[in-house]
Chain A
Amino acid sequence: MEGVSYQRLPKIMIREMKDDYLKFNLTDTDASMANALRRVMIAEVPTIAIDLVEIEVNSSVLNDEFISHRLGLIPLTSDLAMGMRFSRDCDSCDGDGQCEFCSVEFHLNVRCDSDQTLDVTSADLRSTDPNVVPVDVAARALSSDPSSFDSDQRGIIIVKLRRGQELRLRAIARKGIGKDHAKWSPAATVTFMYEPDIQIKEDLMETLTLEEKRNWVESSPTKVFDIDPITQQVMVVDSEAYTYDEEVIKKAEAMGKPGLVEIYAKEDSFIFTVESTGAIKASQLVINAIDVLRQKLDAVRMQDAEADFKEFTDHMQGGG
């Protein structure tokens, strides 16, 4: 018995794309797919982050654990993460988690010898792999205009040192996922909303005076509607500004004009916004999420023979 396919063919339209920001429309699928993609982007797309710190000298005001935690939270460029091994699955270093296949080593060695307070930043971290560096360091290296990153862009501050204080350490960065620890999440925010479908009942609307129209338009907390200055007709200027607050519906009812506007959430149409930490590009985050979700689905597949055999033997044992 061959199964019949109930596969969907969704559509995508990109509306805005920067390295760390993406806005797109996803249509012809349902909320479960949109939500699965959102959840995977936040918690299951891998990145690289500092996971082990060996402190040699720390005479700063922050304790060792505090500094280790701050180091872990620095986003590192993670384009290699999808192809890297998790240390726990790595057989080249048997559980040590310090070999080239599953880790990247960092060194930091800073000492303050002046009366001026010295900031220790992500720029002081020395990576052994040029592909894995703090994201702000990579952005500065790529920028054609280095002056745009001067005074306020000195890197991510780790700790401040006064005269005579020193920080010397070795750190191991490893592949991980946001489900393990949020420091591995590549997503700053990922959200989706249902696309609203707003229909104004024109004939009912025309029974309103201009003053009433103005009051009704103003009742929306976000700027969804406006009045055409020439025709004085109410029109939808930005349907996506609607936050499903229903204020305009309540206002219409209070004015004795129920049904003045009908607003539905299109159940197969979503507007996504994806913001990345910089560890990977926002567009790559979406692609990686699709790959990760496919891997997850593949892992939960029931081995055909096994399932059919079970069904068969259970029947033989005289079940219902």
Chain B
Amino acid sequence: MNAPDRYERFVVPEGTKKVSYERDTKIVNAGSFTIEREDHTIGNILRMQLHRDPNVLFAGYKLPHPLQYKILVRIHTTNQSSPSQAYNQAITDLDKELEHLKKIFEEEKSRFEVKPRDY
């Protein structure tokens, strides 16, 4: 009777921000992003994309608890960049990669419909 609604796992509650940033108090160019209602799907691709950026000294994510539907992404960069710059760049790059992926998938699909390769 007191079970929480199932959609609480993926719908951001009213008055809560999807993403919030907290700067590290001791280290420059370091901080963590709290992303509400996301999990390993977003956490892991973001982390791996951040690792491709040479200005990122550290990037990691954690899902603090399976019943707390949020992830924490911690980023430390050189002074050539900043956590929010690296974070947004990673998202932009992933978005472009997926845009490319959709385009080539549709091209390959049309090509395959005409002439399947022999296997």
Q: Which residue of B lies closest to A293 (CB)?
A: B98
Inter-subunit contact B85/A1 (CB<8 Å): yes
Q: Which residues does chain A contribute within 8 Å of B92, judged by CB atoms?
A: 3, 5
Inter-subunit contact B102/A291 (CB<8 Å): yes
Q: Which residues does chain B contribute within 8 Å of A24, judged by CB atoms?
A: 108
Number of interface residues of B (CB under 8 A): 58
Q: Could you tell me the distance between the alpha carbons of A7 and B97 in the complex, rounded to whole angstroms?
A: 6
Q: Could you tell me the distance between the alpha carbons of A39 and B43 in the complex, rounded to whole angstroms?
A: 12
Q: List 15 A-B contacts (CB under 8 A).
A: A3-B85, A9-B97, A12-B101, A14-B112, A39-B41, A297-B94, A298-B91, A298-B95, A300-B42, A300-B91, A302-B33, A302-B87, A310-B23, A314-B23, A320-B25
Task: Give which listed residue, A10, A16, A88, contacts B97 with CB less than 8 A.
Answer: A10
- Contact residues of A: prevailing secondary structure: mixed
Task: Give which listed residue, B23, B81, B99, B109, contacts A14 with CB less than 8 A.
Answer: B109
- Contact residues of B: prevailing secondary structure: helix
For residue A150, CB closer than 8 A to chain B, the reply is no
Q: How many residue-residue contacts, CB under 8 A, span A and B?
A: 148
Task: Give which listed residue, B7, B41, B89, contacts A296 with CB less than 8 A.
Answer: B41
Q: Which residues does chain B contribute within 8 Å of A3, judged by CB atoms?
A: 81, 85-86, 88-89, 92
Inter-subunit contact B88/A10 (CB<8 Å): no
Q: Which residues does chain A contribute within 8 Å of B7, judged by CB atoms?
A: 88, 180
Q: Which residues does chain A contribute within 8 Å of B27, judged by CB atoms?
A: 320
For residue B62, CB closer than 8 A to chain A, the reply is no
Most B Cβ at <10 Å: residue of A290, A302, A304, A308: A302
For residue A260, CB closer than 8 A to chain B, the reply is no
Q: Could you tell me the distance between the alpha carbons of A293 and B49 in the complex, rounded to whole angstroms?
A: 15
A10-B100 contact given A5-B89, A36-B44, A320-B28, CB 8 Å threshold: yes
Q: Which residues does chain B contribute within 8 Å of A4, judged by CB atoms?
A: 53, 89
Q: Could you tell me the distance between the alpha carbons of A307 and B87 in the complex, rounded to whole angstroms?
A: 10
Task: Give which listed residue, A30, A179, A297, contacts B98 with CB less than 8 A.
Answer: A297
Number of interface residues of A (CB under 8 A): 53
Inter-subunit contact A12/B49 (CB<8 Å): no
Q: Which residues does chain A contribute within 8 Å of B49, judged by CB atoms?
A: 6, 32
Most A Cβ at <10 Å: residue of B25, B44, B99: B44
Q: Which residues does chain A contribute within 8 Å of B24, judged by CB atoms?
A: 320
Q: Which residues does chain B contribute within 8 Å of A180, judged by CB atoms?
A: 6-7, 9-10
Q: Could you tell me the distance between the alpha carbons of A36 and B42 in the complex, rounded to whole angstroms?
A: 7
Q: Which residues does chain B contribute within 8 Å of A179, judged by CB atoms?
A: 9-10
Inter-subunit contact A17/B112 (CB<8 Å): yes
A294-B99 contact given A32-B45, A181-B6, CB 8 Å threshold: yes
Inter-subunit contact B84/A311 (CB<8 Å): yes
The minimal Cβ–Cβ distance linking A316 to chain B, given in whole angstroms, is 12
A11-B84 contact given A17-B109, A296-B38, CB 8 Å threshold: no
Q: Which residues does chain B contribute within 8 Å of A307, judged by CB atoms?
A: 21, 84, 87-88
For residue A33, CB closer than 8 A to chain B, the reply is yes
Q: Could you tell me the distance between the alpha carbons of A283 and B67 in the complex, rounded to whole angstroms?
A: 33
The minimal Cβ–Cβ distance linking B114 to chain A, given in whole angstroms, is 12
Which A residues between 169 and 225 are near B, CB-CB below 8 angstroms?
A: 177, 179-181
Q: Which residues does chain B contribute within 8 Å of A310, judged by CB atoms?
A: 21, 23, 84
A15-B38 contact given A7-B93, A300-B18, CB 8 Å threshold: no
Most A Cβ at <10 Å: residue of B49, B116, B117: B49
Q: Which residues does chain A contribute within 8 Å of B23, judged by CB atoms?
A: 310-311, 314, 319
**A-B pairs with lowest CB-CB distance, top 3:** A307-B84, A3-B89, A32-B48
A30-B48 contact given A296-B42, A302-B84, CB 8 Å threshold: yes
Q: Which residues does chain A contribute within 8 Å of B28, judged by CB atoms?
A: 320
Inter-subunit contact B48/A302 (CB<8 Å): no
The minimal Cβ–Cβ distance linking B85 to chain A, given in whole angstroms, is 6
Q: Could you tell me the distance between the alpha carbons of A308 and B84 in the complex, rounded to whole angstroms?
A: 7
Q: Which residue of B lies closest to A32 (CB)?
A: B48
